[in-house]
A and B are shown apart, each in its own frame.
Chain A
């Protein structure tokens, strides 16, 4: 392998990692909700898309991109909580397939509401970093990419700390592990569900706000991102937090390298092929616990 080959390879790896970060944020929220509520919340895709729009309009009106990120997280978290209160909780007693269908319904509603309100044009947020970039021995990293990767790491790290070391975080894990026992020790399942939706919503909102200066978006982007994140969650193990992160890394890189070295048109298939493979070989996912039967 010559130096240029190595540099190209590293360049793809950087691009892949960037994609992995985006997937990890959405997949993490998805897996948290799945762990607690057993809902495959496809509406997270719409939340991601709306996060991008919140950031876009705030940046354009107020002029501060950095401030738009916490705002997107806050507003989208609110919307996630609203979804839970209005749709998922009343439907919860019907069980799995029903809530899945309802989630797809919310995705369609929000996607088309965005299409109606904002139009179908592709938008791009102006990054405060402009086109500034670093070049390290032939590998190019833009400042914005760097910023997104650092922000993603901080967000994932804080979720990790929240789950491991805070009382509400531990209560959330307890509920995911055994809802009945958690209720017996006085943890309110409904509040934990709200918490999971709030955390997931803020992650999806952050992902939308962070990535949108790099990738142009329209009201339809949510569907693609959520399908991939869903594949990642199944691949990593439904409800498993490390599974979502490792799965995002593997699938983000696999996708980028397939596009680079095999054929661009098959890049989208990789995530789903890996997901099918794991479902047949290890249905509980890479890092998931085997389902009690």
Chain B
């Protein structure tokens, strides 16, 4: 995929578009009132976590044109860090959440700093391999992570709201409270994403995406910006990891394999990399589709998913949102 092909077409911000984020947040907040079954609410939480992951990945792929294929590794770093900080370190959940973000940021810095000197396919390959190495570490560090046996019994998130009391979000009893917690993080991540896009940094990232050599020539310190956006991206993946760990209360290295990284990449691609709504559309559509297919037959789900994926990169290289925009642009007004 040619990253320069995914430049969003500039459009004036209308009043409706300015209200979109608030409106969508409102709708998202009302959803659990309508969807009362446990299965639907479970899906809502998983979609929200996937939105965090895909939005953070889109900072790299959509904004900067860096194809990263190891994102699930950083998600795993956050998940294991948070779980172990609470279980072994006895830390309260909010600190574990921050710890998870910090650990994923450090991992992102260590991996991103050298890797981002490589260009194009080499960078994609290196992130792919680092993703595998991180998964292998979750498997190998048996004393810490219990390896392939998995890490069960992760405590539920306990949150103290000043003046309102302390809540334990037992996700086995009700998923609604936890959904709102995840939603807060989703809104935060999307807000940062839109701020970044409109900042000096965002313009530097677009310059890197379009032509890195030219960006360098006009004085953009491209490596520094790339490392910065990579660390921001992995930090968000770490947040998603922590939220995932205390939601399912069970972790295993199999959750964070290269197949998961690949899923996130596909969600980003199908939604439309670099488009404002892409990181919402992709995760919603594919999480729901996968759930429907899995209920029919888990094996068949993977087969259909694979075919769907190849078809979507063949026919919709700019994703659904990108394709929609192309269609609208061609429409006579």
Residues on A close to B: CB < 8 A?
A: 40, 87, 90-91, 94-98, 100-102, 104-106, 108-109, 111-113, 115-116, 227, 231, 234, 263, 265-266, 268-269, 272-273, 275-276, 279-280, 283
What are 6 A-B contacts with C-beta separation under 8 Å? A91-B310, A112-B299, A112-B302, A272-B136, A276-B129, A276-B133
Interface bits B257-290 vs A (CB < 8 Å: 1, else 0): 0110010011001000000000000000000000
- A96 pairs with B120, CB closer than 8 A: yes
Complex Cα gap A198–B310 (Å):
22
Question: 4 nearest interchain CB pairs?
Answer: A109-B306, A112-B302, A265-B140, A108-B306
A101 touches B262 (CB 8 A): yes
Q: Say whether, besides A96-B120, A112-B303, A279 and B126 are in contact (CB < 8 Å).
A: yes
Across the interface, which residues of B come within 8 angstroms of A269, CB to CB? 133, 136-137, 140
Residues of B within 8 A of A (CB): 1-2, 67, 69, 114, 118, 120-122, 124-126, 129-130, 132-133, 136-137, 139-140, 142, 147, 258-259, 262, 265-266, 269, 299-300, 302-303, 305-307, 309-310, 313-314, 317
Given A91-B313, A266-B140, A283-B122, does the pair A113, B129 have CB atoms closer than 8 Å?
no
In the complex, what residues of A have CB within 8 A of residue B136's CB?
268-269, 272
Of A98, A227, A231, the residue contacting B313 (CB under 8 A) is A98
Q: Are B299 and A272 in contact (CB under 8 A)?
A: no
Q: Which residues of chain A have C-beta atoms less than 8 A from B305's C-beta?
A: 108
Which of B122, B265, B303 is A109 in contact with, Cβ under 8 Å?
A: B303
A231 to B114, CA, bound (A): 18
Q: Which of B121, B269, B306 contacts A96 (CB 8 A)?
A: B121
B309 closest partner in A (C-beta): A105
Query: Which among A95, A104, A109, A116 is the interface contact of B262 at CB below 8 angstroms?
Result: A104
Q: Do the beta carbons of A106 and B310 come within 8 Å of each other?
A: yes
Chain B hits for A227, CB < 8 A: 132, 258
| Chain A positions within 8 Å of B139 at CB level | 265, 268
Closest to A101 in B: B313
Give the residue name and chain of the A residue nearest to B137 (CB).
A269
Q: How far is the CA of A113 from the CA of B309 in the complex (A)?
A: 16
Contacts A95-B1, A269-B136 given; indicate if A113 touches B303 (C-beta within 8 A). Answer: yes
Instruction: Find the A residue at minimum CB distance from B266.
Output: A101
Bound form: Cα–Cα A283–B259 in Å: 25
Q: Collect the chain A residues with CB atoms within 8 Å of residue B1's CB.
A: 94-95, 97-98
CB-based contact B125/A279 at 8 Å: yes
Given the complex of chains A and B, what is the CA–CA distance between A109 and B259 in angstroms? 12
Please report the C-alpha to C-alpha distance between residue A87 and residue B313 in the assembled complex, in whole angstroms: 11
Q: In the complex, which residue of chain B has the Cβ closest to the Cβ of A120?
A: B299
Nearest A residue to B2 by beta-carbon distance? A95
Chain B residues near A105: list those with CB within 8 A: 306-307, 309-310
Residues of chain B within 8 A of A268, CB atoms compared: 136, 139-140
The smallest C-beta distance from A83 to any residue of chain B, in angstroms, reads 11
Given contacts A96-B124, A97-B124, A108-B259, contact A91 B314 (CB under 8 A): yes
Closest residue of chain B to A265 (Cβ to Cβ) is B140
Q: A98-B1, A279-B118 are in contact. Are A106 and B306 (CB under 8 A)?
A: yes
Expressed in whole angstroms, the minimum distance between the Cβ of A92 and any Cβ of chain B is 11
**How far does the alpha carbon of A113 sit from the alpha carbon of B139 in the complex, in Å?**
27
**Residues in B neighbouring A102, C-beta threshold 8 A:** 309-310, 313
Q: CA A227 – CA B69 in complex, angstroms? A: 14
Contact A265 B142 (CB under 8 A): yes
Contact B67 A272 (CB under 8 A): no
- In Å, the complex CA distance between A265 and B300 comes to 33
**A231-B129 contact in complex given A91-B314, A116-B299, A265-B147, C-beta closer than 8 Å:** yes
Identity of the chain B residue whose Cβ is nearest the Cβ of A273 in the assembled complex = B133
Q: Is there contact, CB below 8 Å, between A97 and B303?
A: no
Known: A108-B305, A276-B129. A116 touches B300 (CB 8 A): yes
Chain B: which residue is nearest A90 at the CB level? B314
* A273-B133, A276-B130 known; A112-B306 Cβ under 8 A: yes
Partner of B124, one of A100, A272, A276: A100
Given contacts A98-B317, A111-B302, A276-B126, 13 further A-B contacts (CB under 8 A): A87-B310, A91-B310, A100-B124, A101-B313, A104-B258, A105-B309, A105-B310, A227-B258, A265-B140, A265-B147, A268-B139, A268-B140, A279-B129
